[in-house]
Structure 1
């Protein structure tokens, strides 16, 4: 008889020193990020980038891929109101519509293969949702960012004019955040 073993998430630690010049947000953040067994390192790094672009006191990672009822990150008011529902990837318009009903704003950080097809297929439905904004990252830039991934990361992130400059002790990477058109 074969024993089935559930694969557990891999835990990553990211110590961020963030300077977001665009929003005047500065701070040090110690993040614990669970890499879901079905998730790529690239997707995990995009979640960290999304955190950097939306950093705020009550911004937290959720169960993400482990729960269909939650986004990848959310910003909640102290009273429990969802201020921002943050998705990573290429979510379906129905999911974004549902999120719009629960949150004051919905932010999508898209990336990956098939992104052009996803946007062409879904842009009309997504644009009809006034609370939703969609941005994307270039694949080649994300490849360089993914190379920085380590179980324990010390990252300095400076955001200016929507470009994130991510540095470790030995590497520097620039990632552009572009609005979907």
Structure 2
């Protein structure tokens, strides 16, 4: 945890019907001073939408060794490399060489996020998926964010329903290939 980070605590109730994942858990997230609220909310959504045994937040936004969210198997090997925001091609190449699965979750326009990757060397680029949300969805969630938040997240048929501190928002989870 970086000096000056703010700790957020999320009590999460997850029902991802599309993947058959159901769990209740408490999640602590350190928000670095240089991290925007939109980035942190997207990181929370990525964690929940990728939730699996061995999932954890990476070392932080300044780390080049780990992504924002990482999934490891029981041996410690990385099975999923999950980036948030607008990672560069080099990070995706690195992650794709280490993990079986690479995904990017963004709160930005996915076409603008993927455009700089065109023509760049990215290992197994055809297998990388980019996920985004309806315009304004993350901004609306940011306005509801508190240091201690109650979260209910339900996914069914690609539709995300996010309950955040008593207010419900919804969005389609848009998926597209990296190139």
The normalised TM-score by structure 1 is 0.88
Match of 1:79 among 75, 82, 85: 75
Q: Separation in 2 of the partners of 1:120 and 1:127?
A: 17
RMSD value, Cα: 2.0
In the alignment of these two chains, the number of paired residues is 175
* 114-123 or 78-87, larger mean C-alpha shift: 114-123
Which of 148, 154, 171 is matched with 1:152 structurally? 148
Within 5 A, what are the aligned runs for 1:82-121? 82-112=78-108, 115-121=110-116
Contact 1:142 1:175 in 2 (8 A): no
The answer on 1:177 being equivalent to 2:173 is yes
Deviation >6 Å, runs of 4+: none
Residues 158 and 166 in structure 1, CA contact (< 8 A), matched pair in contact too = yes
Alpha-carbon separation, structure 2, partners of 1:118 and 1:127: 17
Distance 1:121 1:69 in 2: 21
Which ranges in structure 2 are unaligned for 5 or more consecutive residues? none
**Rg: which structure is higher?**
1
Q: Shift in Å at residue 68 of structure 1?
A: 1.5
Q: State the distance in 1 between where 2:26 and 2:157 align.
A: 25
1:48 corresponds to 2:51: no
Cα shift at 1:67 = 1.1
TM-score, normalised to structure 2, is 0.89
For residue 151 of structure 1, report the CA deviation from its aligned partner.
0.4
